[in-house]
Amino acid sequence: MEKKNYDIEMQKILKENLALGKVPTLLLHTCCAPCSSAVLLRLADYFKITVFYYNPNIEPEEEYEKRKEEQKRFLKEFKTKYPISFLDCDYDHEDFQKMSQGLEQEKEGGARCFKCYRLRLYKTVQKALEMHFDYFGTSLTVSPYKNAQKINEIGEELASQFGVSFLYSDFKKHDGYRESIRMSKEYHLYRQDYCGCHFSFLERLAKEEQKSNSLLN
Ligand code: SF4
């Protein structure tokens, strides 16, 4: 698919709605409080947002609960023009396990991750359709470890399949990721050191081991 600047695509959507005097509803999938912070800061004046927490990729379950509780705490503390709602979803970890079968050896950023983005966006668009949201979107593009091109391509495909508008984004533009680090400090947010699944946890351990071995040699 053609490479686009998805930040510019998002700006167009914001401007169009502003010109029409509209404040549309947005079902925003978020992966964790730190990533959501900079994203919500950027969007909160333009949408009536519901944060959708659907992350069956996160392991173990205690970690999933910890990230979710931190997301809820941040929403309570973060003051916005329009109130932000929170919509919880089932953990559904078996769905992630089934999806990742055969892709266990993929590196972070590879084919398993593309399916993981799709799994989460699929549930988001389904819910957005069911609850009549104007847009659906995700905070995932704020991370420099995620493939924003792929996320937007999946979002676009699901938007045409389900007939719900996708909010294009590349939230790491304009220092979005750095802003999420700053806000995490301001709100004392728990920042995990691996993406979420068991495979990313093992990858992080292997990198640490490599680093300490190279220091010893
Ligand atoms: S590394 Fe992250 S994005 Fe990739 S499959 Fe694991 S949890 Fe999903």
Task: Report pLDDT for 130.
Answer: 98
Task: Report pLDDT for 1.
Answer: 67
The answer to whether position 19 is within a domain reads yes
Is the dihedral angle over the CA atoms 15, 20, 21, 27 positive or is it negative?
negative
What is the whole-number distance in angstroms between the Cα of residue 45 and the centre of ligand 1? 30
Neighbours of 150 (CB within 10 A): 17
The answer to whether the CB of 173 falls within 8 A of the CB of 183 is no
Find, among 116, 137, 155, 188, the residue nearest to 4 by Cα: 155
The stretches in the chain having pLDDT less than 50 are: none
The answer to whether position 1 is within a domain reads no
User: What residue numbers bound the domain in which 133 lies?
Assistant: 6-216
* pTM score above 0.85: yes
The answer to whether the CB of 200 falls within 8 A of the CB of 108 is yes
What is the whole-number distance in angstroms between the Cα of residue 73 and the centre of ligand 1? 24
- Ligand 1 atom closest to the Cα of residue 116 is 8
The answer to whether position 148 is within a domain reads yes
How would you class 176 by CB atoms within 10 Å of its CB: exposed for 0-12, middle for 13-18, buried for 19 or more? buried
The answer to whether position 88 is within a domain reads yes
Is there an atom of ligand 1 within 6 Å of 118 CB?
Answer: no
User: Which CATH number is 138's domain given?
Assistant: 3.40.50.620
Is there an atom of ligand 1 within 6 Å of 197 CB?
Answer: yes
The answer to whether position 49 is within a domain reads yes
Domain total for the chain? 1
What is the whole-number distance in angstroms between the Cα of residue 75 and the centre of ligand 1? 24
What is the whole-number distance in angstroms between the Cα of residue 206 and the centre of ligand 1? 16
- Ligand 1 atom closest to the Cα of residue 140 is 3
Most informative mutation of 108, 120, 204 for ligand 1 (most atoms within 8 A of CB): 108
The answer to whether position 123 is within a domain reads yes
The answer to whether position 18 is within a domain reads yes
Most informative mutation of 96, 116, 202 for ligand 1 (most atoms within 8 A of CB): 116
The answer to whether position 51 is within a domain reads yes
Task: Report pLDDT for 214.
Answer: 80
Q: Convert the pLDDT of each residue in 73-126 to its tens digit.
A: 999 999 999 999 999 999 999 999 999 999 999 999 999 999 999 999 999 999
What is the distance in angstroms between the CA of the first residue and the CA of the last residue of the chain? 45
- Ligand 1 atom closest to the Cα of residue 117 is 3
Task: Report pLDDT for 211.
Answer: 84
Task: Report pLDDT for 213.
Answer: 84
